[in-house]
């Protein structure tokens, strides 16, 4: 696109996408985790702290899964936006092309109709004159 900056509130920024942590990979689920200790509301961790603690133990497979999910989500969101913009631009372009074609077609029909009417009038006048000349004789 020709714009250097793109501000669309419907497309999340990377931090919004990362805040939604993916489910652990199947390999990470194999080891049973100990039950969490009860936490008082004052000591509860923020989502960013929870994410930071969770990603400390990630292996390459977990990172690959996150990368794949992020890529898929971003591609889906971008594709929807690209489809919308492309459709709008096509409509605008087609509107101009169709208007130009209609104008050209109207001009051609008008010219053809004018020539046909002129030929009909010339023939009718010559037939009428010929008929009047035969009556005169």
- Mind listing the pLDDT tens digit for each residue in 16-43? 555 555 555 555 444 555 555 545 444 4
| Other C-beta atoms lying within 10 Å of the C-beta of residue 11 | 14
Q: Under 8 Å CB-to-CB from 125, ≥6 apart: which residues? A: none
Question: Would you call 137 helix, strand, or coil by DSSP?
Answer: coil
Measure the CA–CA gap between 17 and 13, rounded to whole angstroms.
7
Measure the CA–CA gap between 135 and 34, rounded to whole angstroms.
121
pTM of the model: 0.36
**Maximum separation of any 2 CA atoms in the chain, in Å:** 127
Measure the CA–CA gap between 42 and 51, rounded to whole angstroms.
18
- Mind listing the pLDDT tens digit for each residue in 65-80? 989 999 999 999 999 8
Instruction: Give the CB-side neighbour count of residue 69, counting CA atoms within 13 A.
Output: 15
Q: Per-residue confidence at 115, pLDDT binned at 50, 70, 90? A: very high
């Amino acid at each position: 696109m020709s714009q250097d900056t793109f501000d669309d509130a419907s497309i999340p920024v990377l931090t919004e996408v990362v805040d939604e942590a993916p489910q652990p990979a199947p390999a990470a689920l194999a080891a049973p985790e100990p039950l969490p200790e009860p936490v008082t509301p004052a000591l509860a961790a923020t989502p960013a702290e929870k994410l930071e603690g969770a990603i400390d133990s990630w292996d390459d497979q977990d990172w690959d899964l996150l990368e794949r999910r992020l890529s898929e989500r971003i591609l889906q969101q971008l594709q929807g936006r690209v489809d919308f913009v492309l459709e709008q631009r096509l409509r605008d372009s087609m509107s101009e092309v169709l208007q130009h074609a209609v104008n050209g077609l109207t001009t051609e029909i008008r010219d053809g109709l004018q020539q046909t009417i002129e030929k009909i009038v010339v023939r009718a006048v010559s037939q009428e004159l010929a008929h009047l000349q035969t009556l005169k004789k």
